[in-house]
Every structure is written in C-alpha cells, then in structure tokens.
Amino acid sequence: METKNRTIFFEVCNLSISFGGLDALNDISFEVHKGEIFSIIGPNGAGKTTLFNCINGIYKPDGGHIIFKGQKIQGKRPDYVARLGIGRTFQNIELFTHMSTMENLMLGRHRYIKAGLLRGAIMWAKRSFAGREEVAHRRKVEEIIDFLDLQSVRNKFVGSLPYGTQKQVELGRALAMEPELLLLDEPCSGMNSEEKQDMIFWIKDIQDALGITILLIEHDMKMVMDISNRILVINFGKIVTEGSPEEVQKHPEVLRAYLGEQDNLENIA
C-alpha cells in the first residue's frame, strides 16, 4: 500500500467513551483522506455527535487515539484543537445571538487576530495596529459573506434570522477560521428543499474551491449518497461498515439497522 509512508491527515484509532456504563462509542477506527467528504451515518443515538465532541475535545475519550496531521489530539482542550485547524458546526445552532452576522464571523477570525487587551484598548481607527488589523480581517470575512450570499444579513443580529440562514451563518463562522478539517453536524436538518439544495452546493464548493476536508453527519440519505466520497455507518456506538456510497447501500446490516425495509432502498436508489 502506498499510503504507508505519507503522514495520515486524520485518523481515529480504537476510540471508546462511555457515560455511566453506557458505551456511547466502542472501538471506533477510521481514516479520513485530505480533500474528501467523509460522512458518518447511523440512527439517532448511534454516537455520531458524541464522536464529533470527542474530536473537538468537548468530551475526553476513555481510550483510543485521534490523530490530526501527525499529532495526537484526544483529551486536548477544544480551543487547542480549533487552533490546529478543525472547525465545527452544531446540530442545534450555537450562534452568538446578540451579535451581528459580521461579528459572529469575526469570532472565526479569533485565532488570527493578534491585538489583544492592550493593543485593542488603544484602538484608534487607521492610526492603530488594532484598527488596521480589524479592517483586514473584516475584508477576509466579507469574502465568506459573498461566498455564502449573506450580504443582506451582514449587520443584522443573528438571533432574529430565519432558521436556514442561521445554519448558513454558522457554516460561515466555521469557514472564517479557515479550517483544514470541517465537522458539519447535520447542516441540512430543518431546512426546506431549496435551502437544502443551496447547502449541498456550498458543501461541494467548500471541498472543491477551498480544498477543505469535510466530516459530515447527515440524515438525508439522498444527500449523503450524492456528495460523500466515503461513508462510515455506526450503530450503538459500534462500526457497522465503511466504504463508498455504493458499497454502503448494499451492505445488509445497513439495510437492517438504518435504512429499514427493502422498499426503502428502492426509494434511495
């Protein structure tokens, strides 16, 4: 195998975590190649979001490794993991509701902004380092606003935006940190079909134009089969199977555990 010698982009090895005797994740291992869309599917409560939380450092796994660009990241603090270049959106929107879209996205720039307490305190528009830096990062954020068509809500408080737009802002915020690996937790949940189409378009664009590797959790099977390079199926915290969309669709256990009856499969295909 030619993969032996290169450094692995992202890898999860024998990851396990349990909450009070319940094995939320049990011996999960997989590898994500740079530049691909890797989807994780499974029924509700399968442990998908728990897996994301372990990667982010929100949960400390009981055992196993998570390796990102040759560095072990399991058990590290979330902000440390974020600074390495792993971005994230949430299943239940976690926006800063009392800030505008622009300010929300500016938080994505947090790790790049150098002016802290003292230089920020003496900010004096163009005459100060902090002022020039703020403007430079606002220009960068503007690119993302253009990319996601958020111009009309740039200065609106995100708390008052429609649900689909909020999901978009959340994606923008994660993109603003220019991650190398992006974790998307159900980016299309609760969206209408038009919004879904837009979101699928952006996700593909993020992969193609920005070259960001994507780890995706999604329940919409059509979408998952459509855009994923590879798919991991988990149930009850264990791996069911892993492979290309075509392979996964044919796997008998997937049909039983997740897709259900035979006639459902016909709908998907």
Partner 1 sequence: MDMKRDYYEDVRLFGSKVVLFWFLVLIAFLGFFPFLFRNYYVYLANYMAINVLVAIGLNLLVGYTGQISLGHAGFFAIGAYGTITLMTSAHLPFLVALVLAAIGAALLGFLLGLPALRLEGPYLSIATLGFGLTITQVIGRIGFFGGRQGLHAPELTIFSWHLDSDRDFYYLLITITVILTLVARNLVKTKVGRAFIAIRDADIAAETLGVNIMLYKTLAFAVSAFYTGLAGGLYAFVLRFIEPQIFSLLMSIIFLAMVVVGGLGSLFGSIAGACLLSWLDLELRNILSIPYLGGWLEALSKSYFSITGVSNIQLIIYGSIMVSIMLFEPLGIYGIWIRTKLYWKTWPF
Residues in touch with partner 1 (CB under 8 A): 56-58, 77-79, 81-83, 87-88, 90, 94-99, 102-103, 106-108, 110-111, 113, 115-117, 120-126, 130-131, 134-135, 138-139, 154-155, 173-174, 177
- For residue 167, the minimal CB distance to partner 1 (Å) is 13
Which stretches of the chain are assigned E, i.e. beta strand? 10-19, 22-32, 37-41, 63-68, 71-72, 86-88, 181-185, 213-217, 230-235, 238-243
The label of the residue with tokens 């600074």 reads 83
- For residue 266, the minimal CB distance to partner 1 (Å) is 39
Residue with smaller CB distance to partner 1, 90 or 236: 90
The total of other beta-carbon atoms located within 10 Å of residue 127's CB is 9
203's CB contacts (< 8 A; 6+ apart) are 37, 184, 187, 214, 216, 227
Residue with smaller CB distance to partner 1, 153 or 200: 153
Report yes or no: 77 and 57 within 8 Å, Cβ to Cβ.
Answer: yes
Residue with smaller CB distance to partner 1, 41 or 81: 81
Q: What is the dihedral of CA 74, 76, 80, 84, to 10 degrees?
A: -20
- For residue 174, the minimal CB distance to partner 1 (Å) is 8
- For residue 244, the minimal CB distance to partner 1 (Å) is 30
Residue with smaller CB distance to partner 1, 189 or 241: 189
Report yes or no: 200 and 192 within 8 Å, Cβ to Cβ.
Answer: no
- For residue 97, the minimal CB distance to partner 1 (Å) is 6
- For residue 243, the minimal CB distance to partner 1 (Å) is 29
Q: Would you list the DSSP string of 199-259?
A: HHHHHHHHHHTS--EEEEE-S-HHHHHHH-SEEEEEETTEEEEEE-HHHHHH-HHHIIIII
Q: How far apart are CA 69 and CA 80, in angstroms?
A: 14
Residue with smaller CB distance to partner 1, 137 or 251: 137
Residue with smaller CB distance to partner 1, 79 or 253: 79
